[in-house]
Chain A
């Protein structure tokens, strides 16, 4: 009981860390997906023109 009271409350920082991690990685995955879709659309267009 006594030792639990001494543990500092840094919960908000932990949440901030994991939110940043999730947001940054989600944006990067979304960027790869979007770029793939754009390139695939162009690829199909050029293939049809051939």
Chain B
């Protein structure tokens, strides 16, 4: 149980290599955008981290459905792991966006639709962790978390489409941008390669981290069972 599977070690190496190649493409292959300068290079990993955040919230929703169907603990552990990882990545995406916005929009933060809905999503899933810790009974906690993750996921597509439906200054890089958007740009081929490779690299990194997090959850669950058995033996 403690020994790391070979496939996971291979995935560790693959994800590290892919992130390094993605960074190489971003810094040395993709050209400098002429209107924004070097800060535009933040965009590649900003979108990739936001994508991983949304992917993890979706995995948590699917794990929630699976838990309600089967009541197997592994789905609860998967959901918790996916939310935890996604919170980290989504928060990183928000911070990277804020750093990009300072020279481009001349402000760190503005309450426009994309930033507001992204902040709401982050708070919804932070509440997921807080509320989980408030329920002692493992079965109730898992059921509650599963239902919360399913309903919580409805906020994620809302964030994704907010810049396509509402009047906003947030740029849309793929698809048609709102006329009021500021900081948008057309990607040339080297930019597209760096962009899509970054998305792929972070997706592999997410799978790798989730696998580690699930193993950790299973080990913690096993330790908890052994602790209870040990306590019962003593008393």
A interface residues, Cβ below 8 angstroms from B? 3, 6-11, 13-14, 16-18, 20-21, 24-25, 28-29, 32, 35-36, 39-40, 42-44, 46-47, 49-50
**Is the pair B226, A10 in contact by a Cβ cutoff of 8 Å?**
no
**Is the pair A17, B222 in contact by a Cβ cutoff of 8 Å?**
no
Known: A9-B37, A24-B88, A24-B91. A17 touches B99 (CB 8 A): yes
User: Which stretch in B38-46, B70-78, B126-134, B168-176 binds the other chain?
Assistant: B38-46
**Is the pair A6, B42 in contact by a Cβ cutoff of 8 Å?**
no
Chain B 83-108, CB-CB to A under 8 Å as 1, else 0, gives 00100100110011001101100000
Residues of chain B within 8 A of A17, CB atoms compared: 39, 42, 45-46, 96, 99-100
Q: Is B209 an interface residue (CB 8 A)?
A: yes
What separation, in Å, do the CA atoms of A21 and B89 have in the docked complex?
A: 9
**Is the pair B88, A43 in contact by a Cβ cutoff of 8 Å?**
no
Residues of chain B within 8 A of A47, CB atoms compared: 226
List 12 other contacts, CB 8 Å, given A13-B42, A50-B226, A50-B230. A8-B35, A8-B103, A9-B37, A10-B38, A17-B46, A18-B42, A21-B45, A28-B85, A36-B216, A43-B222, A43-B226, A49-B230
